[in-house]
Amino acid sequence: MSTTVTSPDDELQADFDALIEAEQRIEPRDWMPEAYRKTLIRQISQHAHSEIIGMQPEANWITRAPSLKRKAILMAKVQDEAGHGLYLYSAAQTLGIARDTMTEQLIEGRARYSSIFNYPTPTWADMGAIGWLVDGAAICNQVPLCRASYGPYGRAMVRICKEESFHQRQGFEILLELANGTPEQKQMAQDAVNRWYWPSLQMFGPPDDESPNSAQSMAWKIKRFSNDELRQRFVGMLVPQFEALGLECPDKDLRWNEETEQWDMGEIDWDEFFDVLKGHGHCNAQRLQHRRQAHEDGAWVREAAAEYARKQSAQLKAVA
């Protein structure tokens, strides 16, 4: 007679695997492999940092928006991004990392955020291009994340995606108005689209054969589609929208391939992508400096809140 000896860890791992297999959610109190926890902390905190740093290129235009209506819309959009950052920091906290630690990692330059936010926004049309292309790419990436296996992440994404779809429409509408305006306005819209098109395709990450962590993330059902699949979907969505706008796609090699039933695209400049990732983009230093300054400027608020909390608990103790 033989008996199989299983360690408690093997049993926990088997339970975890069964939950993933059955498309059930992993919740904060459930056991999870350390690598799963670490991957999620990295991904969710990077995502949160991107939302927070991503406020900067657009906030740059709030005071210069061309009308009161545009100003109100842009303010609401930037404020939504702050909210996205907060939901995501909260989701990451459920995995055992402190908010302060994540903030420190960001302002000390040890954490990553999406490279796209290191590009400058020289014209009003950039607000249109960011909304249409950057928020558009974010939607393609994030809709499948609503089904991510980690409960707090998936649930945060549901609300975030609803708001992102408003962001994309407001960007499209800015471009539509410019594209139907004077020849100079139309050119300004085209130039902004030319600046943001390729970086928005890079947002999906490197090609599948150069994306080492993707397979594990897909096995854990955090990620549902590969980088290239999502990029294909995004380009397919843009093609008719370019037509509606009357703007030209900067990728002159873009063609529908009947045989592969895929979009053949021009070469993406991955050297540029990795260069910006390494900190050599136009605005990397400026973005971090600005975030650091905002953190320092907010020190008195944190101190006041801590002092208020201390007095409240002292009062409660006195009553008890």
List of residues contacting Fe ion (CB under 5 A): 51, 81, 84, 135, 164, 167
20 versus 54: smaller Cβ distance to Fe ion: 54
The nearest distance, CB 52 to Fe ion, in angstroms, is: 10
Q: Which of 36, 267, 65 is nearest to 153 (CA)?
A: 36
132 versus 150: smaller Cβ distance to Fe ion: 132
The nearest distance, CB 18 to Fe ion, in angstroms, is: 33
The nearest distance, CB 191 to Fe ion, in angstroms, is: 22
Angle of helix 284-297 versus helix 34-53 axis, rounded to 10: 90
On whether the CB atoms of residues 76 and 127 are closer than 8 A, the answer is no
- The tokens for 71 are 């100003």
Q: What are phi and psi of 257, to 5 degrees?
A: -100, 110
81 versus 251: smaller Cβ distance to Fe ion: 81
On whether the CB atoms of residues 228 and 208 are closer than 8 A, the answer is yes
The nearest distance, CB 85 to Fe ion, in angstroms, is: 8
- Quick one: DSSP state of residue 144? G
75 versus 265: smaller Cβ distance to Fe ion: 75
The nearest distance, CB 79 to Fe ion, in angstroms, is: 11
Instruction: Spell out the alpha helix ranges (H) of the chain.
Output: 8-21, 34-53, 55-59, 68-93, 99-107, 125-129, 135-142, 151-179, 183-202, 214-219, 227-245, 270-275, 284-297, 299-319
* Separation of alpha carbons 20 and 191, rounded Å: 45
126 versus 251: smaller Cβ distance to Fe ion: 126
19 versus 192: smaller Cβ distance to Fe ion: 192
The nearest distance, CB 49 to Fe ion, in angstroms, is: 12
